[in-house]
Amino acid sequence: MRISEITDFIESVASLAMQESYDNAGLIVGSRDTEATGALISLDVTEEVVDEAISLGYNLIIAHHPLVFGGLKKFSGNSSVERTLVKAIKNDVAVYAAHTNLDNMLVNGVNSRIASKLGLEDVKILSPMSGNLRKIVVFVPTANAEAVRNAMFEAGAGSIGNYSRCSYNLQGDGSFKAEEGCNPYVGEIGQTHFEPETRIETIAPKHLVSRVVNAMLSVHPYEEPAFDVYPLDNSFAMAGSGIVGALPKPENAADFLQRVKQIFGCGCIRHTRLPESPIKNVAVCGGAGSFLIGDAMSAGADILLTADIKYHQFFDARYPFVLADIGHYESEQFTKELFYELVTGKFSNFAVRLTKVNTNPIKYV
């Protein structure tokens, strides 16, 4: 099995189109066409992780954090990134990362895994993406409308929230004149023809548009199908930053944070003043999520669990809303578990192992 088969599958779950503009998700080191001997899963890529992959005979590391974010001008080994990168290249170990693209997914995403660990219900994206949707409109003979719709749905179109196979259908008459050299599905060469047609409208994420259009074209009976693709400003409920959900029953704030500390193995939790009222609605964002403080309060969350909060940002939390920093590694550690379940669930006979290296650089006393 080639490395590309594994990475393509991961990207079918979390498309690279869903990553933030500053990110560097994808295959960072190695060739897509290399035969994969095994995959080691880690949150970060360090020299120790590369050594572990080498010792196992695995030539692929799947990580959450990209080893390289910006451009590198030297490979002299003066930084941990340079040393790790050189070691991976010398030993033919490919390095792949699914970062903010995996963070941003409602289903099988980093934040949805955090929400699951906390037992949150009725979860939804805290800050949905916008500008990610496209409306696809196609005109098709009414007799063929069902086949075209189904092909588009199977390719990923038509999902709105928890509803699938969504479309709008309008009946009308299409007209055309086939010129010499055409092979018309209906009508005669040189004559204007009117055909009962259905205008099908549906939506799809922009990264699926090509697939949906190709699926439509593959079953459309016309030589030259008429179709349009429109950009939409609508928010995309299935992807975005953070997640908010509800606890099965309200919890005392102090007791809730103690439970969080136990679940995530936190050395400590930094937080704002705790309210006397219980916690019910919980917002979460793995990694640095202080940019979501306002969104969490607007969504009616009682608390935001995230990491990397600066001193002055704690002042942005208006009591009784609680802002809690549980640690970057701690908040994202279950991403390894998510990777493992995805890859082994798809490739049951492929060697996959979770790293034994604790890559958290922060220790507590």
* pLDDT tens per residue, range 240-282: 999 999 999 999 999 999 999 999 999 999 999 999 999 999 9
| Section 5-32 average pLDDT | 96
Q: What is the pLDDT of residues 106-131, one digit of tens each?
A: 999 999 999 999 999 999 999 999 99
Same domain, yes or no: 47 and 139: no
DSSP designation for 163: B
Angstrom CA distances, 115 to 32, 294, 340, 354, stand at 33, 19, 18, 21
Same domain, yes or no: 254 and 203: no
Same domain, yes or no: 172 and 189: yes
The pLDDT confidence band at residue 75, using thresholds 50, 70 and 90, is confident
Asked if 38 and 350 touch (Cβ cutoff 8 Å), the reply is: yes
Same domain, yes or no: 225 and 244: no
Which of 216, 81, 69 has its CA nearest to residue 157? 216
DSSP designation for 242: E
pTM over 0.85? The answer is yes
The pLDDT confidence band at residue 162, using thresholds 50, 70 and 90, is confident
Does any domain span residue 360?
no
- Using CB atoms within 10 Å of the CB of residue 329, give its burial: 0 to 12 exposed, 13 to 18 middle, 19+ buried: buried
Percent residues over pLDDT 70 in the chain:
100
Does any domain span residue 362?
no
Instruction: Among 232, 257, 279, identify where a domain stops.
Output: 232
269 phi/psi in degrees, rounded to 5: -125, 120
**Collapsed DSSP state (helix, strand, coil) of residue 244:** strand
Same domain, yes or no: 175 and 319: no
Residues with Cβ within 8 Å of 150's Cβ and at least 6 positions away in sequence, in order, are none
Instruction: Among 212, 232, 252, identify where a domain stops.
Output: 232
- Using CB atoms within 10 Å of the CB of residue 176, give its burial: 0 to 12 exposed, 13 to 18 middle, 19+ buried: middle
The whole-angstrom separation of Cα 141 and Cα 151 is 15
The whole-angstrom separation of Cα 359 and Cα 48 is 9
Q: Supply the pLDDT for residue 172.
A: 97
Asked if 353 and 40 touch (Cβ cutoff 8 Å), the reply is: yes
Domain count, the chain: 3
CATH number at residue 155: 3.30.70.120
Does any domain span residue 105?
no
Same domain, yes or no: 327 and 338: no
Same domain, yes or no: 202 and 245: no
The whole-angstrom separation of Cα 209 and Cα 134 is 7
DSSP designation for 158: -
Q: Which two tokens stand for residue 131?
A: 């500008």
Average pLDDT, the chain: 96
The pLDDT confidence band at residue 105, using thresholds 50, 70 and 90, is very high
Does any domain span residue 153?
yes
Query: Could you tell me where the beta strands, DSSP code E, fall in 5-46?
Result: 26-29, 39-42
Does any domain span residue 363?
no
**Collapsed DSSP state (helix, strand, coil) of residue 234:** coil
For residue 223, the one-letter residue type is E
For residue 133, the one-letter residue type is L
Same domain, yes or no: 266 and 289: yes
Asked if 342 and 108 touch (Cβ cutoff 8 Å), the reply is: yes
DSSP designation for 2: B
Instruction: Among 209, 232, 255, identify where a domain stops.
Output: 232
Same domain, yes or no: 218 and 136: yes
CATH number at residue 57: 3.40.1390.30
Q: Which two tokens stand for residue 332?
A: 């994202």
The residue with greater pLDDT, 161 or 117, is 117
- Would you tell me how many other CB atoms lie within 10 Å of the CB of residue 195? 19
On the question of pLDDT at 71 being above 90, the answer is: no
Same domain, yes or no: 136 and 119: no
On the question of pLDDT at 74 being above 90, the answer is: no
- Residue-range definition of the domain harbouring residue 156: 132-232
Same domain, yes or no: 247 and 328: yes
157 phi/psi in degrees, rounded to 5: -85, 160
Does any domain span residue 203?
yes
Does any domain span residue 365?
no
Q: Which two tokens stand for residue 275?
A: 């309210």
Does any domain span residue 359?
no
122 phi/psi in degrees, rounded to 5: 50, 50
Same domain, yes or no: 24 and 150: no
**What is the sign of the dihedral through the CA atoms of 153, 156, 157 and 162?**
positive
- Using CB atoms within 10 Å of the CB of residue 298, give its burial: 0 to 12 exposed, 13 to 18 middle, 19+ buried: exposed
